[in-house]
Amino acid sequence: MRRTGGGAVSIVGVGVDLVDMARFERAMARTPRLGPRLFAEAERVRDGAPLSLRSLAGRFAAKEALIKALGDSYDIRWHDMSVVSDTLGKPGFALAGAAAEATERLGIRRIHLTMSHDAGLAIAFVVAED
């Protein structure tokens, strides 16, 4: 726990997910509509160019890690949680629908996300705070 402005902040949940990029690539190739089903257009394209499969694998891991941090899927749809980046490139989430409702119901005020990929694997780690 850390103190901010006199109030305590506690961790509501943590989640981690690991994606085998070769398996993810096979699934994406086998099912062309999988990309649009899992990711919003803004998640699949940056500056007019499609994102690499390794970047998409990281985003998929991030969404799975968020669901784990929440403790339940709460009927969240893939497009209810979009992975976004701030002006410095730091990843985070834009939440809508059931994902936004779940975080509000759980009292989550801040979500931290980190992602990485190496050696054929993509990983994401999420910490949810009240």
Mean pLDDT in the chain? 94
Q: Which residues of 20-51 are buried (b: 16+ CB within 10 A; e: fewer)?
A: ebeebeeebeeeeebbeebbbeebeeeeeeeb
Cα(24)–Cα(105) distance, rounded to whole angstroms? 32
pLDDT in tens, 14-58: 999 999 999 999 999 999 999 999 999 999 998 899 999 999 999
pLDDT of 6 reads 58
| Inter-residue contact 76 to 82 (CB < 8 Å) | no
- Domain 2-129 in CATH 3.90.470.20? The answer is yes
pLDDT of 5 reads 60
